[in-house]
Amino acid sequence: MENKLALLKQQINEIYDLHYVLALLDWDQQTNMPSGGVENRASQSATLSKIAHQRLTADSIGELLDDLSDYQAELPPDSADACLLKIIRRDYNKQVKVPAELVEEFARITALGQQAWEMAREKDEFLLFQPHLEQIVANRQQYAECFAPYDNIYDPLLDDYEPEMSAAAVKVLFDKLRPQQVELVKAISEAGQVDNAFMSRNYPEDKQWQLGLGIIKQFGYDFECGRQDKAMHPFTTTLGLGDVRITTRIAEDDFFSGLGSSMHEAGHAMYEQGIDRKFDRTPLGSGTSLGIHESQSRLWENMVGRSREFCQYLYPQAVKMFPEALVGIDNEAFYRGINRVAPSLIRVEADEASYNLHIMLRFEIELGLLNGEFAVADLSEVWNSKMADYLGVMPENDRVGVLQDVHWSCGLFGYFPTYAIGNLVAAQLWEKIVEDIPGLGNFISQGEFSELREWLRKNIHCHGAKFTPQELVRKVTGTQISSVPYMKYLNNKYCEVYGMGARG
């Protein structure tokens, strides 16, 4: 059995090498590739995706898994080999149902779709992206059909990013969260608005870049095993556990946009950089789900990056770097300005209190598209209507509306709910972290993040994908994923920021 396990691992290692090369091709397309290379890139991505899929779903993989089933049953359930065999079996059983041609087509149309989205966004012309998105939606519908019968066509797609979660479960979660968050936002709007006009003054790009690099290096992002570049939409990509790259984007009239993106993506990247290296080139060598992944990025961006203690650490650096923009702004105004709550058009720049409303909107739209309730051609109108309903704002154009996110051009249907799940998990973890690290606030205010980083490495990062999301959260906090700590965190924080009485 040892020889068969070694053979299976070798084959899986080679498949993951192909996935890492595909990630490198995608990173290059979004950061460096000339526009004329898109047809070649689409062919390259399609070919490699097909080869990787064919190798994973080969009869030899299924035979090795069958031969190792008795051996797996004898292993301790939490052992690395038992967890690896469980995940390989899960991936094999799922992907063997999907035709290689569908995988190949998906890689091709999304490579072309990403460039079309970039062009449409730049020119503010949704029609340039529409035919590509129609192809992508049709492909995702065909993909989901490979797993019929299902309760909802959305379920197989969501399962790719958040195992154990269904559209019905997400809806129950959102139905509970939405009224609580709407009520909080309403209460804040009646409390007297915070002035954050200083956030839109001029902040030169080069200095923002320098500030962001310094902050994420202090967090613990390892630049010997990663790098930061610019992209139209920030993202993190893993080319192996020794090469985890991030991107950001910077607006000179927005102090927190670039910094927030860098902190967010560094949270993702530090998760991958902290995974036990013995899991590299296997399905264990990644985050256990996108929801857990987002808990790491949202924790560093918000629980740390928007905290009073972090603002105490950041403020003198910001004043030194941007003295003219921050003239007349003291530490308290700086903190309150960064935490201003107001309905906004752009998800990645939304405040904590209203952020999940952006996710709920996208979830509803994805359900409608995939279930055929409306067509891609109607998307702009549907988007604007839901923005008015959820957030009370209306996009002035598609660039800040339906074209703002890269996800659909990449075919990432089913991804958006993981952001909200990540917010919930981040709050649960934060409660445990504060309990386990006395004086955490003092550490943060002094720019000392090693205690926090090491706690996350020990309790979350090192495990990679060994445990399911619920198993991992129970292992660390003793409870299942819950929205209670998140709403407690929001109410406590924003009642203090806005001088309101205690809530819920």
Residue among 257, 260, 231 at smallest CA distance from 246: 231
The pLDDT of 418-430, averaged and rounded, is 98
The total of other beta-carbon atoms located within 10 Å of residue 442's CB is: 10
The pLDDT of 456-483, averaged and rounded, is 97
The total of other beta-carbon atoms located within 10 Å of residue 14's CB is: 12
Residue among 452, 417, 450, 448 at smallest CA distance from 434: 452
Strand pairing report for 236-238 and 228-230: unpaired
Tell me the catalytic residues: 265
Integer Cα distance of 239 and 280 in angstroms: 10
* Interacting residues of 151 by C-beta distance below 8 A, sequence separation 6+: 166, 167, 168
Beta carbons of 203 and 221 less than 8 angstroms apart: no
DSSP-assigned beta bridge partners for residue 230: 248
Q: What angle (nearest 5°) sits at the alpha carbon of residue 446, between those of residues 441 and 449?
A: 70
Residue 126's identity, in one-letter code, is F
Torsion of CA 21, 219, 344, 420, to 10 degrees: 70
Integer Cα distance of 36 and 158 in angstroms: 33
Domains and CATH numbers, the chain: 2-149 (no CATH), 167-497 (1.10.1370.30)
What number of CA atoms fall less than 13 Å from residue 401's CA on the CB side? 21
Q: Is 191 exposed, middle or buried (0-12, 13-18, 19+ CB in 10 A)?
A: middle
Q: What percent of the chain has pLDDT over 90?
A: 98
Q: What angle (nearest 5°) sits at the alpha carbon of residue 220, between those of residues 326 and 350?
A: 50
Tens-digit pLDDT profile for residues 290-330: 999 999 999 999 999 999 999 999 999 999 999 999 999 99
Judged against a pLDDT cut of 90, whether residue 402 lies above it is answered with yes
**Structural tokens at position 229:** 């570049």
What's the pLDDT score for residue 164? 87
The pLDDT of 341-351, averaged and rounded, is 95
The total of other beta-carbon atoms located within 10 Å of residue 119's CB is: 13
Beta carbons of 140 and 370 less than 8 angstroms apart: yes
The total of other beta-carbon atoms located within 10 Å of residue 278's CB is: 12
Coil, strand or helix at 93 = helix
The pLDDT of 13-28, averaged and rounded, is 98
Beta carbons of 233 and 249 less than 8 angstroms apart: yes
User: How many angstroms separate the Cα of 227 from the Cα of each of 130, 138, 244?
Assistant: 33, 35, 7
Describe the strand order of the beta sheet including 236-238 as a list of residue ranges. Answer: 228-230, 244-248, 236-238
Beta carbons of 96 and 123 less than 8 angstroms apart: no
Q: Is 149 exposed, middle or buried (0-12, 13-18, 19+ CB in 10 A)?
A: exposed
What's the pLDDT score for residue 503? 55
Tens-digit pLDDT profile for residues 162-219: 998 999 999 999 999 999 999 999 999 999 899 999 999 999 999 999 999 999 999 9
Residue 502 binned pLDDT confidence (cut-offs 50, 70, 90): low
Q: Where are the alpha helices (DSSP H) in 220-351?
A: 255-273, 290-298, 308-321, 331-338
What's the pLDDT score for residue 501? 66
Beta carbons of 121 and 130 less than 8 angstroms apart: no
User: How many angstroms separate the Cα of 295 from the Cα of each of 19, 163, 475?
Assistant: 24, 15, 15
Note if the pTM is more than 0.85: yes
DSSP H or E segment with residue 229: strand 228-230
Better-predicted residue by pLDDT, 336 or 502: 336
Tens-digit pLDDT profile for residues 112-155: 999 999 999 999 999 999 999 999 999 999 999 999 999 999 99
Integer Cα distance of 96 and 66 in angstroms: 14
Residue among 95, 88, 2, 7 at smallest CA distance from 53: 95
φ, ψ of residue 87 in degrees (nearest 5) = -75, -40
Residue 2 binned pLDDT confidence (cut-offs 50, 70, 90): confident
The pLDDT of 235-259, averaged and rounded, is 97
Judged against a pLDDT cut of 80, whether residue 504 lies above it is answered with no
Indicate the length of the chain as a whole number: 504
Residue 500 binned pLDDT confidence (cut-offs 50, 70, 90): confident
Average predicted confidence (pLDDT) for the chain: 97
Helix and strand totals (H; E) in the chain: 21, 3
